[in-house]
A and B are shown apart, each in its own frame.
Chain A
Amino acid sequence: MSVAEALSGEPEAAGYARAEGPQPFSFPRDHGAHPDYRHEWWYVTGNLEGDDGRHFGFQVTFFRFALAPEPLQRTSAWATRQLWMAHFTVTDTAGETFHHFQRFARGALGLAGAEADPARVWLEDWALSGAPGAGLDRLHAEAEAQGVGIDLELSAAKPIVRQGDRGYSRKGEAPGNASYYYSVPRLTAEGRITLPDGEHAVEGSAWIDREWGTSALGEDQSGWDWFSVQLDDGRELMFYHLRQADGGTDPRSEGAWIDASGEKRRLSSDEVELEVLERWTSPDGEATYPARWRLRYPAEGLELELEPTLADQELRGGFRYWEGAIRGEGTVQGSPVRAVGYAELTGYAE
């Protein structure tokens, strides 16, 4: 099974739990895994700066895929219906290097899993772990591969935001074609990044997304563009466009505007305008992605030009997509504003 299959609405979703309407979240329980849903992720992205102002992006993501709707009745502890995947990337903007790693492990024998309290998700030695009773407020993110590593303390600067309709996020026409989705839109990050050229003390901000469900894209959907943008005035904008096979944008695309106090405003698909200014083709010519945008959110008088900190932040694993650090400059109500963030662009590869 490829990850793409897992993420696209594979027809055999029968028997799995589905997100069929808003449900109150229950924390800390919902920080843990929801094994009856087909997929789930813990998504941490962030922009960091070294003492010397050197910019780094990072991403640590834990994906859980359920392979069967029911728990298995098998004797071996290795038999499992949960497959875990983790992605870990570091964008070395100044060094013009994008480090990305992918790992799989079965959800058995403690090789990979997630726990609610203290919040913890791990795949072997890559882990995101919280403190007892602290929910996602304080987290330690740790990952290392081939001489590239992060070791970061994350502290929530904003409360949890329930995306969509009270955390219920519709992704398509079909009932149940939705997910439960919440975020911590801003965390301060502090710690170290290890690169082949040495260790760097870093500071910056991060974003956490939590999402689980049983299907994501409908058959007429070809991919999505997802952005999280943290403005330097303390506000955040998240939005995604579900792209239709005919080139249009699915009206179920939406977003969120979070003010300095953490209040969220739900955005519909047409409230954020996105114009692609430039495109970038991956070195092997297999995929062409948008690579610079003009973003307008007229309701708040926001106009930004966004661009990747590094053009090549494509993950060329089994599932090919672009996910990388972005930065922007522009104005909000006429005043200059700067932004950092992450963009995820899927469905561009052949």
Chain B
Amino acid sequence: MMLRRASLRYHLRQPWQAALAVLGVALGVAVVVAVQLANTSAERAFQRSAEALQGEATHRVSAGTAGLDEALYTELRRAGIRPCAPVVAGYVNAPGGDPLRLLGVDPWAELGVRDAVASAALEVDAGRWLSRGGMAVLFKPEAERLGLGAGDLLPVEAGGRRHELEVAAVADPPDELTAEGLRNTVVVDLATAQAVLGRLGRLDRIDLVIPDGEAGAAVLEQVKARLPEGAVLKEAGEGAAALDEMTAAFRLNLTAFSLLALLVGALLIYNAVSFSVVQRRPLLGRLRALGVARGQLFRGIVAEGVLLGTLGTLAGLPLGFALADLLLDLVTRTISDLYFVLSVRSVTPAPGVLAMAAALGVLVSGVASAGPAWEAATVSPRTALERASLEAKARRLAGPLGIAGLALGGLGAALLWGYGGGIVAGFAGIFALLVGAALIVPWAVRQLAVALARPAGALVGTPGRMAARGVASGLSRSGVAAVALVVAVTAVIGVSVMIDSFRTSLTTWLDSTLSADIYVRAPAQTGETPPPLPEGLAAELAAVPGVTGVGTSRRLRAPSEYGEIRLRAFDHGPEGDAGIVYKDRTAQAWADYRAGEAVYITEPFAAHHGLAVGDTVAFRTPEGERRMPVAAVVRDYATSQGAVYVSRTFYAESWGDGVINGVAVYAEPGADLEALIGALRQAAQGQGQALQFRSDAEIRARSLAVFDRTFAVTRVLQLLAAIVAAAGVFGALLALALERTGEVAVLRALGLTPWQVWGLELSRTGLLGLMAGVLAVPPGLLLAAALTGVINERAFGWSLQLSVDPALLAKAVALAAVAALVAGLYPAYRAARVAPAEAMREDG
């Protein structure tokens, strides 16, 4: 009891360290909570929406972008297969560009599949619903958000065409889950959806509710027997699972970064607890002399750490909640940019996440305080050791720690660059690498500082020498500060170089792939195939003066032996394969491809399915299965899911339609693109479809903008880790300053002015920061190599060229120095204020 009281009073008298430790853990826990909450909220929104859209359906029939002939539905119904619901769904833009999901259904068929949708649609007079076009039902939350009521008009835009919907009814969702799942959803009749989305005669899918067991199996057989070529029957959950998987790598990335912040937070706890132990060493010695057992001391100190950690955790949870809001926005935007339209409006409190983060915060604090606690427990009762002996101990430990760090780093490298291993092994490798690097830091700092003492002395005299030696001699403190900095700066370097490399690779690819001058397509949402362009558009554009040629593209999802895959059918323009960046190919690749005798696959596609040049891919086309050899693997950063390129010849043979989604226009050299776009618009005007005309430069700029948004989350997390690290440096330097009060007092007595003390202290922290920055370069580069070469490839299938911009490294090193200097300001101020008289304390 007394011990605990003593410990509490101690921390109340030394509030800085305790506060910092609490802050560090709070920030660490907050970042973990925020990332996890943002992740789970996004995932939950996605799951809810998938569930609400899936309803009771157990199976679904679909046929990729091409869709199903609507006659299949009649056939299934007339065969008595029910419940069975046809769906035509897609995204439209509400005024202001807000994407809304247009869910086209037959209300009566919805009964037993999606009762909520059925009853919503059935609120509308059947006469109006069936006979008039554009009748829409909104759920209440959505109607309120859009500020619409029954009878209001809702103009929407889809594929460049405007349509007017009328809110025929506003329905109350039956429960919260449905409300959440059907967020952003506008329910319309199938006829309306077909017209608005340009899907006349087609269905996107037919949802089936099929019972388990023998009866169900018989029904499935009946369904299968009726499936046309190109259509597939899947379990209903499969699509959602695939979409979920799509973003899994992205979300794992975020989790890894959040753990990094917590790791740095743990260093703060370590520092605070160990500082408190050193401060109380004489007291601890006396306590030991009084008969306090080692176990008691150990437990007492760990309890202190856990208490600080708990306080930090408690503060971190609400902080994380607030932070999650910010992150959620970034995460949602990234998913919407890259994968599919996702709407998440609020952070969902997930008790599991909070409990996990809380446990992690407390656990990490306990582990971080175990070292100092052991230190405290081994204090000899006879002699109250001086700080100097702790330093000696720290120095002795530095070597073995460094060796352990090397071993751990090696293990990390093996996990990263050894054979096999998935993305989780990749991240484990990265953590091993980081922790390994952290363990080497104290030793390296000491060596560097000792080596620097002479040149520093030569440069600025004794204060310089003192600064360098101070770093080395205060290793138990400066080591911790340096570790915090090195870890953070390593992450900064690794991530920045990775992003930079990625950006460079992307830019290079865009430059070579955007070989045409103007690209034409109809607007579409992320993850949705752009709507078909009017027939004959390509020819009309080709006829515009100044145009030297056109190419066309068709994008669709089509069933294959690998499930539904992204297919790109190109009619390459006059420049042939100039826009294709090959990674690997056969000698005859282009000729075979053009003749429709081979296909190309993109890098991620090859990675995901373990394919290489010479392998084959089988497509389920309306003409039956077509197995095609892979003639080339090409670079393509457009989708991390991978895609297959086929020539227009092959597409026409197998899919038999003339649909195109995009036209690439080649202009005469030196043409005025603005003017040409005007002319092209003119030529396309008769088609009644709003089209996007974009120059290659604009597409390039847009792609890079999406790229930058994608990494905004990463940058925020990186910044947070750096803030935690700066707090760590601050704590360590403050501890050091307090411990060195006597030393500073002597210097002041000897005649050092306060400004000289400032200079001394700041040059030491600056030096420390600089060293940490320099020390972070090698592990930072390793991290960058791991992120670009291993993680990206394992997560997304892209191989990136590592490109290192020296300016970027210099910036990171400068960042470390500046962070240390900023963190060192207050400790230096404290030191400068040390009264020389402190050297003469009466009674020692």
Contact = CB atoms under 8 A, between A and B. Distances in A.
B126 A67 contact: yes
Interface string B58-88: 0000000000001101100111101000000
A77 interface: yes
Contacts of B73: 109
Interface string B177-221: 000000000000111101100001100000000000000000000
Contacts, number: 72
A125 B79 contact: yes
Contacts of A74: 133, 191, 195
Contacts of A110: 74, 78
Contacts of A109: 70-71, 73-74
Interface of A: 1, 65, 67-68, 72, 74-81, 83, 103-106, 109-111, 122, 124-125, 144
Interface of B: 70-71, 73-74, 77-80, 82, 106, 108, 125-127, 130-131, 133, 189-192, 194-195, 200-201
User: What 5 pairs across the A-B complex have the smallest Cβ distances?
Assistant: A76-B191, A67-B127, A78-B191, A79-B191, A104-B108
A195 to B, nearest CB: 17
18 contacts: A1-B125, A1-B126, A67-B127, A67-B131, A72-B131, A75-B194, A76-B194, A77-B200, A78-B106, A78-B189, A78-B191, A79-B191, A80-B131, A81-B130, A109-B70, A109-B71, A109-B74, A110-B78
A78 B70 CA distance: 9
B688 to A, nearest CB: 14
A79 B131 contact: yes
Contacts of B130: 67, 79-81, 83, 106
A124 B80 contact: yes
A127 to B, nearest CB: 9
A122 B74 CA distance: 12
A340 B135 CA distance: 47
Contacts of B189: 78-79
A8 to B, nearest CB: 14
Contacts of A122: 78
B190 A78 contact: yes
A76 B126 CA distance: 17
Contacts of A1: 125-127
A72 B194 CA distance: 16
A103 B82 CA distance: 11
Per DSSP, chain A at the interface is loop
A76 B190 contact: yes
Contacts of B70: 77-78, 109
A37 B625 CA distance: 49
Contacts of A124: 77-78, 80, 82
Contacts of B74: 109-111
A21 to B, nearest CB: 27
A144 B80 contact: yes
A76 B189 CA distance: 10
B195 A76 contact: yes
Contacts of B77: 105, 111, 124-125
Contacts of B125: 1
Contacts of A65: 126
Given A1-B126, A67-B126, A111-B74, A81 B201 contact: no
Contacts of A106: 106, 108, 130
Contacts of A103: 108
A72 to B, nearest CB: 6
Contacts of A80: 130-131, 191
Nearest to B73: A109
Contacts of A125: 77-80
B195 A83 contact: no
Given A67-B126, A72-B131, A104-B108, A77 B78 contact: no
B166 to A, nearest CB: 15
Contacts of A83: 126-127, 130
Contacts of A81: 130-131
Contacts of A68: 127, 131
A106 B77 CA distance: 12
Nearest to A68: B131
A83 to B, nearest CB: 6
B200 A75 contact: yes
Contacts of B71: 109
Contacts of B78: 110-111, 122, 124-125
Contacts of B195: 74-76
Nearest to A78: B191
A40 B635 CA distance: 64
Nearest to B82: A124
Nearest to A147: B215
Given A78-B106, A110-B74, 5 more contacts: A72-B131, A76-B191, A78-B190, A78-B194, A111-B77
Nearest to A103: B108
